[in-house]
Structure 1
């Protein structure tokens, strides 16, 4: 069932596709695959363009030479460059100030859009995220561009889907196609992009979603390869071989990575709380964060940006244990400060870089405990990258396929799979969230994944209630009540007080009880559930819980608790039936039975 556009999604007029094309896409799975391929191609163009703009900012602002990466510098070209993150923070703070004065709503990302809004996203929101992410990364904040990539690609996919008037399930799938193509193009890894969509954006894998998501991921990859070449974003060289004896140190590393990932996420939260308690205006928070980042960059520029150049530098060169540990701490601090002070961006690549540092650090210490292991530092780095990324980002299969596409080595992929499962399980049992869902939790949202729960919130009491409510006043006598409501005419009657507000419910059968001997008695003495009422905005789940608590088969619906004006009546049986019907509809959509 198609759902109305929520207030949090863009409600601006949209251009509708011609009716014949809408019918093709809505009624034919091939049509959806073709649209997904177009979305993938557009995403490949956007990812390439955004990446080029960010690198151009680095070249202009930080004075990089040809082929240099910001985080690959051994020292800043000028000490004054340390002030650039603060300058970027000032621009970002200005944008925050403008948005706050316009009372802009909270920005909706692809996970939230698919979980709560049926895949509906705002192009305005997406544009804001791209600009803020570009400013943050371009001026050196320790964040990646993945947020911009997935936001704009999924946003365009959403608007295309709305133009085709897609069903809710198809629109959610198309949003996932946008994200899949974005990640695939960014990492030159179509399998990674596809499973990123399945695990993190769509929230499930099914045969119906396979073809469009894979088509989008492949098209995004092909376009990016055509524009910038087919070199893999992370070149690990020759990683070496893996044996059975190498699993224990890899599992130990995965557990350490899970712990580090949890510390990073909690560190971001701690810095955010500290900044809020400091009383700093929101517009100045990124400036202060930028000054801290600049100070860290004076020590080592490898803490800046997402870490592409630094990752290749650390994979290629041997490094002392003390230097690795210091860089790991500084990078974790830089990432936490960047996000916590208000810079916009993702932690995908930053988590890969920190995981590689942790892996190389463990590779130097592992022989002291696991003398039989022959893993190379590069394999330890790959395991660390995957394990830390799965803790912060989520998606065990996503990180497994990333390792496969980086190395092309199945034994290493099996080792990574065991490691990411261990890290994911450890984080889930000790912390319970990825970075995105942890942020939702702090906002008071109950989102644990992109699995569609928006339909539950849309199935409200106001949509399910009946409005033809039979009422009487609480000073009505039983004689009059029996005359107005004979047996069989109704099961229950809502009673109103002298001000017309809800007073309770009288069961018609109670009014005809043989235990009542005074026919002039008032119905006031038969009132039930005087304190239990429903509100129109309550969800079916909340209504079912209230039915259970009140031990009632029906409850009155009032406009609000202050006035208690009766607007409807809802029964428990109807609520459960409607919930079951919607649940069955979602199951059928997942298997493609509604097309």
Structure 2
């Protein structure tokens, strides 16, 4: 461990000697993370097609037409067996026996000092590629976002960088992955701030943009400059259409709510049916295979079907059917533990919803309608914005894909309304809901989250004065004079905390005793004082101090042994919190160059 620390510090020192500026060092690290995430995105996408070729026999992204030529047993067997492999792999090799994704990135950024496992990132990407390659009706963006973020967190951990720099590199991985997925560098940069980091920080903006551009360049060199979707030419016919776009936004918000609320229903059914965790994806795969016999469009990521919808290849009836069926498949896949993301499913649902809405709007107001394609694109942006909690990023993705300013305004209107509906009636995005299911909340703001991230072990004092349970008054008086903050901690012969003694306690004991009474520390001490564990957050420490009126609290190793290991003073807790707030303020508003470690 010491050798690794020495080597990482030596590497960072050499880099700093070359470039002479911490801002430039951070920029170089951002380029490295951006390149890693961009390359990882390429490998992931090729991995999906490789698995798809092995299992279905086609390496095309628009695979739904080819699937119609397969025999029924093949179409059912591949998702079922793929789901079985996915379930066993997740159960055996992934932490908490569940797939990991964007919510875990938000969790790491807000609650765990941007600490993530790169091994978990690679394993999650691998099993997501298997999921999608064998037909899971989910998306490919979430896994690469998680993988890219884990690369940034890994580099920060290897170089022992400070918390704010680690969060920035985590955001660099996210931005590069999103930009590489959609050929949209600006949207990738803003998505990292809007979703992963949860705020906009000036000091992080330049490195994140560099990483985003790097990821885009790498994927363009490999895949070419083609965008994710082939867009028809769209033109807003009249601003009188905007009420229709607003209605579409409301419908998109309702769609996002229905899908999110459907997932726990599936989970509860699986638990009630006592289906083993490792077997659940196989059950989902069986359902996918059966449904794909009639609707092959729902297999995999679904970009081919989205392009068909953009070019009005589907009628109103099929669009509505695909909307309902895809929503059901997404809830089943997530509810039964498949690995994959929510971005592509949200775009798919939005495409079908927008297309169906556009058909109806064109039929009612043919002279005012901008055509099916425009409504399809607006629907894609609106549902994705509501699901991801990212109206700004989603709007920019549509703008970078279409280059149409007026259409972007329509997407903005629908996205904002959809996000408001989702926020008011669901309490936040899909990722917020996932965190809430784990007992975490993003509602308290960064300041409270910061207190929850900081641990008692980081600020506790390890030098303190103890007195034995049976020691007498002279020993108590002598030790109390030299004790920090004039407080003694009373321990038994095994070092277990019994209580505390202050000058006030000693005065009370002196007045209350009878002449000739023997005074020991056990008699004077206030027994069972409020205590903290080393793993408790500073937020808990501050709250306990407020409730008890204590200025300092003893810290024990665990509730059973109660071995004394230190104490926390209110001043130290407030100082740590204040320093962290100053660091956040520096991130948000710029100022001094960022400190790396």
- Structure 1 spans left out of the alignment, 5+ residues: none
CA offset at residue 93 of structure 1? 2.7
Structure 1 CA distance for aligned equivalents of residues 157 and 230 of structure 2: 39
Using the TM superposition, name which of 371-380 and 248-257 deviates more. 371-380
Structure 2 CA distance for aligned equivalents of residues 148 and 107 of structure 1: 8
Query: Equivalent residue of 1:17, what SS?
Result: helix
TM-score when scaled to structure 2? Answer: 0.87
CA offset at residue 535 of structure 1? 1.8
**By percentage of residues, which structure has more helix?**
2
Structure 2 CA distance for aligned equivalents of residues 589 and 168 of structure 1: 11
Residue 349 of structure 2 contacts residue 380 of structure 2 at CA under 8 Å; is this kept in 1? yes
Query: Equivalent residue of 2:11, what SS?
Result: coil
Q: Which digits, 9 at most, give the CA deviation of each residue in 1:83-118, with x for residues without a partner?
A: 210121122133235427x99898584333333343
Which residue of 52, 62, 65 maps to 1:69?
62
Residue 190 of structure 1 contacts residue 221 of structure 1 at CA under 8 Å; is this kept in 2? yes
Against the structure 1 CA distance between its residues 94 and 352, is the aligned structure 2 distance closer, same or farther, given a 3 Å change threshold? same
2:152 maps to 1:157:
yes
Structure 2 CA distance for aligned equivalents of residues 199 and 398 of structure 1: 7
Q: Which digits, 9 at most, give the CA deviation of each residue in 1:405-441, with x for residues without a partner?
A: 1221112212222222222222122212322232222
- Residue in structure 1 matched with residue 383 of structure 2 by the alignment: 388
- Residue in structure 1 matched with residue 531 of structure 2 by the alignment: 533
Q: Which digits, 9 at most, give the CA deviation of each residue in 1:510-540, with x for residues without a partner?
A: 5336965746485777654735222221111
Structure 2 CA distance for aligned equivalents of residues 446 and 546 of structure 1: 20
Q: Number of paired residues?
A: 585
- Residue in structure 2 matched with residue 182 of structure 1 by the alignment: 177
Query: Equivalent residue of 1:537, what SS?
Result: coil
Q: How does 1:288-367 map onto structure 2 within 5 Å? A: 288-366=283-361
Residue 183 of structure 2 contacts residue 228 of structure 2 at CA under 8 Å; is this kept in 1? yes
- Residue in structure 1 matched with residue 51 of structure 2 by the alignment: 57
Against the structure 1 CA distance between its residues 560 and 55, is the aligned structure 2 distance closer, same or farther, given a 3 Å change threshold? closer
Residue 73 of structure 1 contacts residue 302 of structure 1 at CA under 8 Å; is this kept in 2? no
Structure 2 CA distance for aligned equivalents of residues 427 and 239 of structure 1: 28
Structure 2 CA distance for aligned equivalents of residues 354 and 199 of structure 1: 22
Which residue of 191, 200, 205 maps to 1:205?
200
- Residue in structure 1 matched with residue 579 of structure 2 by the alignment: 581
CA offset at residue 332 of structure 1? 0.9
Query: Equivalent residue of 2:554, what SS?
Result: strand
Against the structure 1 CA distance between its residues 16 and 278, is the aligned structure 2 distance closer, same or farther, given a 3 Å change threshold? farther
2:534 maps to 1:547:
no
Structure 2 CA distance for aligned equivalents of residues 29 and 489 of structure 1: 41
Residue 100 of structure 2 contacts residue 143 of structure 2 at CA under 8 Å; is this kept in 1? no
Structure 1 CA distance for aligned equivalents of residues 446 and 19 of structure 2: 23
Against the structure 1 CA distance between its residues 450 and 516, is the aligned structure 2 distance closer, same or farther, given a 3 Å change threshold? closer
Structure 1 CA distance for aligned equivalents of residues 201 and 587 of structure 2: 10
Query: Equivalent residue of 2:124, what SS?
Result: helix
Against the structure 1 CA distance between its residues 570 and 210, is the aligned structure 2 distance closer, same or farther, given a 3 Å change threshold? closer
Query: Equivalent residue of 1:299, what SS?
Result: coil
CA offset at residue 262 of structure 1? 1.8
Query: Equivalent residue of 1:284, what SS?
Result: helix
Structure 2 CA distance for aligned equivalents of residues 38 and 559 of structure 1: 40
Against the structure 1 CA distance between its residues 28 and 466, is the aligned structure 2 distance closer, same or farther, given a 3 Å change threshold? closer
- Residue in structure 1 matched with residue 25 of structure 2 by the alignment: 31
2:146 maps to 1:148:
no
Residue 267 of structure 2 contacts residue 335 of structure 2 at CA under 8 Å; is this kept in 1? yes
- Structure 2 spans left out of the alignment, 5+ residues: none
TM-score when scaled to structure 1? Answer: 0.87
Residue 249 of structure 1 contacts residue 370 of structure 1 at CA under 8 Å; is this kept in 2? no
Structure 1 CA distance for aligned equivalents of residues 534 and 28 of structure 2: 41
Against the structure 1 CA distance between its residues 477 and 370, is the aligned structure 2 distance closer, same or farther, given a 3 Å change threshold? farther
Against the structure 1 CA distance between its residues 444 and 23, is the aligned structure 2 distance closer, same or farther, given a 3 Å change threshold? farther
Which residue of 68, 71, 76 maps to 1:82?
76
Which residue of 122, 126, 132 maps to 2:127?
132
CA offset at residue 171 of structure 1? 2.7
Using the TM superposition, name which of 522-531 and 438-447 deviates more. 522-531
RMSD: 3.6
